[in-house]
Each structure stands twice: as structure tokens, then as C-alpha cells.
Chains A and B, each alone.
Chain A
Amino acid sequence: MIKIKILPENVLLEVEIGSNLLNVFREKGIDIESDCGGKGWCGKCKVRLAKGKVTELNDVEKRMLKNEEINRNIRLACQLFLIEDNIEVEVMNKNKKIEIVTNFLKSREGKKNPLVRLKPFKLEPPSLKDQRSDLERLSSIDTNLHFEDLRLLRNLPHLLREYNFEGKLVIFKDEIIDIRDRNFKSIYGVAFDIGTTTIVGYLLDMNDLREVDIISRVNPQRVYGSDVLSRISFILQNSDGVDILHKVLIRTLEEIILEFSKRNHINLDDIYAISIAGNSVMTHIFLGISPEYISYSPFSPAFRDSLVISSREIFSILPKAKLYIFPLVSGYIGGDIVAGIIATDLLREKGNILFIDIGTNGEIVLKVEDRLYSCATAAGPAFEGGNISCGMIASQGAIDHVWLKDGKVFYSVIGGGEEKGITGSGLLDAISVMLELGILDSKGRINDEEFYIGKIKITQRDIREFQLAKSAIRAGIEVLMRNASIGYDKIDKIYIAGAFGNYIDKENALKIKLLPPISKDNIFLVGNSSGMGAKLVLLDKEIIEKAKEISKKIEYIELSSNSEFNKYFVEFMYF
């Protein structure tokens, strides 16, 4: 492993030697503009090499960069590989998604409202003339604050006297959750995006309100099934299933927290706020609640409202922090989507916007004027390479992009090197190329029995699987549009979220009719919007109210048994 620092945010990452820089950005959720998705023809993913050595300037870079840029050590992230320790790079072009998110933060500028904060206090010590209780004394600082924690009350008398009645309150929302000495300065928060496949943790410095570190891990529940339903099946078949899945998840989250603490030299006791954004099933399991009843009709979750609980109920390593759990909309529209809507500020954006989180479950939200419609489609794992003969998730060795140049087929492989399989974005491109070449007809039939991209074979069955997945998403979009009574010309923007959304080629997504026909300039890849929402709530406690409003406002449209959906599902299987 080697260290790389990303400027200007000063994010320090540990990555494998030989990693491609653009892939590092993608995997760690760092935003950079990359229109062509790493094919080397857009020249957008510029970075400035501030320190250290990487692979030599190659022909693509020489062609795409101006001499003046080359002299300034500007490079293309997609072309360079990290071969030495202690590298520093500065991202030159941020993706549009950053604009979307920072718009929201900008709108709140001047109003610093973090979910957890420090407040200094100095109290008159008790005397015979003033025999008020310790708690009354403390409460007199600010009557808006309240106090609930018996554990803290047990320590309060000793702490106040040890600190000579002067120190700092740690306040979560409006609750006093701890008392520290007057020199105490640094408090931290951790935001978690708990995906079915991937978990991302973000460490935030709550004084400076900045991101300090990111760690992403594979969800350890994957060995119990790749999608939420197979996880629930495991729970149905094992009496202690919830407990098992809960424990492996919490262990991984604690590992991430411990790793944050270790590599940033911070005290676990200084982490006071944790936010959790996950789909409904992951949120249930995180809390140790059985998601069984989400899994069959009528699909009802155990709870919907957001929760604030003591972290010690979940994390043994964090006895004093508080957890905020994003509210759910339904069994299949979870806190991750609510967080995504917040991160993209969907409600305040003008116009009609389609928000799509493409994964095993495709969640779709359509904002029309001030109404929000939502649905969830079981797209299946094809977008993540599942059920595809040579399919694999977007990782080292996966073909992630395929394109035509002068009638010849080109492709790119994640991490460089030899292709081991193809991921969803690669398959989407491949299909588009096959259509272009006339190898595939619009009904999805391959003329020749099979088609090769490098060593990877695309079979007729793969195409059929993909047709089902893409049609499920598109049919969901169509149903929402009918419910909102709008046509294609009324859609102003499309936001694509999720891991797949970072890799997708907009033009091809339009071409194969995954997306409704709108200009590709109005399609924005917003990245991990769920993780961004989880971070935002730590930075601004008012988001708690906003999330509540959104979860109440969203209308959920059930698609199973929906005859309109079935009709569109069949119709949009064609390309």
C-alpha cells in the first residue's frame, strides 16, 4: 500500500501500488470530471501532480494536454498509475455533482449549524447562598438545552468539580451529551452510507466542518447473498439470522471507526455523532430489527421515522456518541434515497427532475413541481455484472467501457491489465456498439451466436438478462411519469446516483433506451448521493427536519402487480 494525498481537501488515502488514479477517485468517492469515463478522449480528468512520482507522460496525455499544462505538471487521472509512495495530486475539474451538493451548502452559508458542537461554560460554584443542584446550574446556561443521559448524570458532580465548574458542553442537536474540560477542542462525526454491496464511512472534523478521511468496505453480509431478498431469506431460514447479519455489519462499521481513529490519531471518545443512511433492509438490520415483513406483500417496514439513539445501543466502542438514522419512505425506498434527495437538494431545485439510483434495486424518484413520486424496481444484479456469463462488479480487471473508433472496437479495463470480465457499464456500452455494428437487432437478437470484446464473450443470454434489467428501470420511470402526468419534454434534468452511475456512458444509456429521451447535457452523474446526504446531516442539523419532510412527502407507487408497469416492462425490453 502507498499513500496519496488529494488536494485541496487534504484527503489522505491508502491505495494499492500500481492503481490507476481515476479508479482510485471512483472507488473512494472523490469527485472529478470524467466525461468519457476513462477512455482517454475527453481530457477532463486533469490533476496537478504536486509531489511524488507517477508513470511517465503517455501519448494520450501528450495529445490531450497543452504544453503549458504539461509544464505545470498537469496530468490525466485516467492515464496515470501510482507507482511510488507519498504522492500529492490536486483535482483540477470537479464533477458537476459537486456543484449540486455545494449549492446546498452554499445556500446555508453563514448559518453554521452542525449536528454536534461544543459550547464553553463557566458556572458559579455552589455556595451556602446558592444551593442549586448541579444540573440546574448547568441548565441555566441555555434553557433550550436538555439532558437525558443517566450515565452522564452519574458523573456530573465529579466532573464539574474536577473542572472547577468551567469546561465545554458537547451538544448533539439540543441535548447535552457530555462535558469536557475547557481546553478540549476536537470533536468528530462519522457518516455511514450502508449499501447492500458497499459500505462507505466518512470521518468529519466537526470543528472545521470538513471531511478528513474516507474508508469503503465490501458489505460483509455479501456472503449471505448478494441482494436484500437473499439476505432476508437467510433470516427466514435461521432463527438467529438477524443477529448474525447485524453482528457482521456492526463489526465492519466498528473496524472502519477504529481505522479512522488509528490513522488520523484521534480519540474514539472524541467521536460524538454518527449518521446512518441505508436502504430500508440495511437500516432494519443495522438496528437489529427483522426486515422479514418487507420481503413479501404487503411489504411493510417496522418503522419509517428517523431515529436518534445512543450509540452504545449499537457500538460497544462508542459509549458516549449519538446516532442519527435517516427516515425511510417504504420497504423499498430507504434512508439512502432520502439522503440522496437531500444531497441533490431535489426539492428546492427548479423544474422537473428524475432521480435514479441504479443498482440491484433501481430506486426512482420523480420531482414534479413540489411533488415527489417514487418507486422501486427489481432490476436484478445485471448492472453489477450479476447473472451475466462473464459478468463481474466494477473492480480490477473488469471491462468498464467499450467504444467504436473508425469501425474498430476498443475497450478499457479497470486497473489496466488483462480483462477478466465485464461490468454493467461495460455491457451497456457493448450493447450499444453491437447495435451500431448491426450485430444486435433492436429486439435484442444477436446475429452471430456470440460476440467477443477482447477475451470476454457476450452471449445471447447476457443480452436477455440485460434487457430485463434495463426495461425494469425504464418501465419504472414511465409509470412515475404517467402518475405525474408529464411527457418526456417536461423532464428538465436526470440525476443518476449509485456506483453504477459513476461509470455509465450517458449517450449509450439514452441510445439503448435505459433513460427517456432528453439531451445528454441535462443528465448528471451525482455519484454517491446517499453518502453525501449522510455527511450533510452532520454538518447541518436542520437537515433532520428536512429529511422528515421529504419522507412524509414522497408518494410511493407499488410496482409489483401494477398492470401499467407490466405493459411498459414488456415494451421497453427492446432497444
Chain B
Amino acid sequence: MEILREIANSVIAGNKKRVQELVNKALEENISLEEIINDGLLAGMGVIGERFKRNEIFVPEVLVSARAMQAGMDILRPLIVNSKGIIKGKIVIGTVKGDLHDIGKNLVSMMLEGAGYEIIDLGIDVSPEKFVEAIKEHNPDIVGMSALLTTTMPQMKVTIDTLKKEGLRDRVKVIVGGAPVTPEFAREIGADGYAKDASEAVELVNSIISKK
């Protein structure tokens, strides 16, 4: 459908206003929520993710597109009654205790949202206890942890160990990322996955969810 392609293109161009206009227009034309989201908003973000992965675009462009996508989602979210077929999975995400950096984590959140996941963002300086509470409350499929400092990376292990102690470890998959984090470190602390950047995070989450 032409209007859906236009929505996707407006997301790619990062034109927030246009996205909002087009989403409203699509609703008037009685196009289904599922189609607007999947073939419009998320299709656009998919292209952005690909371009980011190929280094063609950088953080600012991704953020601008993600904001445009979110503006569209904000209109649709209240209308979603049955999320089946729209929401692919639920993810709790946060920057670990002692670490206040969130640009990378926010980028990952937006890309995941743009890939059709529901994100519960716990913010920064998130203690293991807060992760535990959030898992109990939201029952997510995946928990994502971010750290930008080599000195706060050990908190990822502390959090995983706390999940084990609380008997929650088997209920969720744990994925980690952040500039100093390596795949070896992720394995060592017993995480289920590692992604080096936001577009890899989407691939990682897709593969975990598809195996469920």
C-alpha cells in the first residue's frame, strides 16, 4: 500500500510530523494497526537498522528515525487491544548499578521497539534488586543489561547471580552489551547473549525469541 510505504520512508527520513500525519491518515482509511506498525513504522526502522549496521549512517540519524517511529507508535499504542501479532516479545532493559550512561542503552531500546518489541526501560544505575522486581512485575522474555564502564561491568554478574538466588534465572534470557563488554565476558558471567551494537541487539533478540 502506498501510504504504508510513505510511512516507512518518512521514518527513514526522520520526519516526525509527516509520520504522525500519515499514521492518522492510515487510521482514517481503516488500515489495520498491525499493518501500519509492521509494514509502515517497523519497515522503516528495519531499513535504518540495516544502514546503521553497514556503517552508512550513524547514531544521530538512527535517533532521529527512532523518534519519528516512536511518534507514530504513540498514536497507535492506546488503540492496541490485542497485542498478538504486533508485539513480538517483552524486554526489560537497564544500565547496571553505578553506571549512569544511557545513550547506547536508549539506542538499543529504540531499535528493539522499532523491531516490534515492548520495552520496559528501568533507566540508569539499576540495582540487581530493581531488575528482580521488574522481572516479577512484568514477566519479560528477555532482560538486557548495559554498562559503559569497565568498573561497572562486574555488576552484570552480580545481577545474574541475584536472579539465580531469587529463582528467576530460568524465567528470562539475559543479554548484555556496552562499549567495554566482550562476548567472552558475556559467556564468563553466564549471560545468554551479547551484541556489539544496537542493530546486532535486534538480531540477537529476534533469534532468541524465534527459538522460544
A interface residues with partner B (beta carbon < 8 Å): 225, 229-230, 232-233, 236, 292, 295-297, 378, 443-445, 460-461, 464, 467, 558, 560-561, 566, 569-571, 573-574
Contacts and interface: CB of A to CB of B under 8 A. Distances in A.
A229 B124 CA distance: 19
Nearest to A571: B60
A443 B62 CA distance: 12
A296 B98 contact: yes
Interface in B94-149: 97-103, 124-125, 148-149
Contact of B58 (A297, A558, A573): A573
Contacts of A445: 56-58
30 contacts: A229-B149, A229-B151, A232-B150, A233-B151, A292-B151, A295-B149, A296-B97, A296-B99, A296-B149, A296-B152, A297-B97, A297-B98, A378-B148, A443-B58, A443-B60, A444-B58, A445-B57, A460-B55, A461-B55, A464-B55, A464-B58, A467-B58, A558-B100, A560-B99, A560-B101, A561-B101, A569-B103, A570-B60, A570-B103, A573-B58
Nearest to B51: A445
Interface string B47-59: 0000000011111
A236 B151 contact: yes
B6 interface: no
Contacts of B102: 561, 566
Contacts of B58: 443-445, 464, 467, 573
A258 B153 CA distance: 40
A229 B180 CA distance: 10
Given A560-B100, A570-B103, A297 B60 contact: no
B39 interface: no
B61 A297 contact: no
Contacts of A569: 103
Q: Which 10 pairs from chain A and chain B are nearest by CB?
A: A296-B98, A295-B151, A560-B100, A561-B100, A233-B150, A460-B55, A297-B98, A229-B150, A570-B60, A296-B152
Interface in B56-76: 56-61, 63
A565 to B, nearest CB: 9
Q: Which of B58, B97, B149, B151 has the most CB of A within 10 A?
A: B151
Contacts of A296: 97-99, 149, 151-152
A482 B97 CA distance: 29
Contacts of B190: none
Given A236-B151, A296-B99, A570 B56 contact: no
A570 B64 CA distance: 10
B177 to A, nearest CB: 16
Contacts of B149: 229, 295-296
B154 interface: yes
A221 to B, nearest CB: 15
A558 B63 CA distance: 23
A561 B100 CA distance: 5
A449 to B, nearest CB: 10
Given A297-B98, A378-B148, A561-B102, 17 more contacts: A225-B150, A229-B149, A229-B151, A236-B151, A292-B151, A296-B97, A296-B149, A297-B125, A443-B61, A445-B57, A464-B55, A464-B58, A467-B58, A558-B100, A560-B99, A561-B124, A566-B103
A561 B154 CA distance: 20
Nearest to B155: A296
A361 to B, nearest CB: 12
A315 to B, nearest CB: 29
Q: Which of B57, B58, B152, B153 has the most CB of A within 10 A?
A: B58
A292 B55 CA distance: 36
Contacts of B56: 445
A574 B101 contact: no
Contacts of B125: 297, 561
Q: Which of A225, A297, A443, A571 has the most CB of B within 10 A?
A: A297
B100 A297 contact: yes
B53 to A, nearest CB: 12
Contacts of A229: 149-151
B152 A443 contact: no
Contacts of B60: 443, 570-571, 573-574
A474 B27 CA distance: 43
B57 A236 contact: no
Nearest to A560: B100
Q: Which of A233, A292, A296, A460 has the most CB of B within 10 A?
A: A296
Contacts of A232: 150-151
Contacts of A461: 55
A225 B57 CA distance: 31
B99 A297 contact: yes
Nearest to B147: A296
B7 to A, nearest CB: 23
A171 B132 CA distance: 61
A460 B100 CA distance: 28
A524 to B, nearest CB: 31
Nearest to A227: B150
B63 to A, nearest CB: 6
A573 to B, nearest CB: 5
B125 to A, nearest CB: 6
Contacts of B97: 296-297
Nearest to B98: A296
B158 to A, nearest CB: 12
Contacts of B152: 295-296
A472 B56 CA distance: 21
Nearest to A559: B100
B143 to A, nearest CB: 20
Interface string B25-63: 000000000000000000000000000000111111101
B129 to A, nearest CB: 16
A443 B14 CA distance: 14
A126 to B, nearest CB: 60
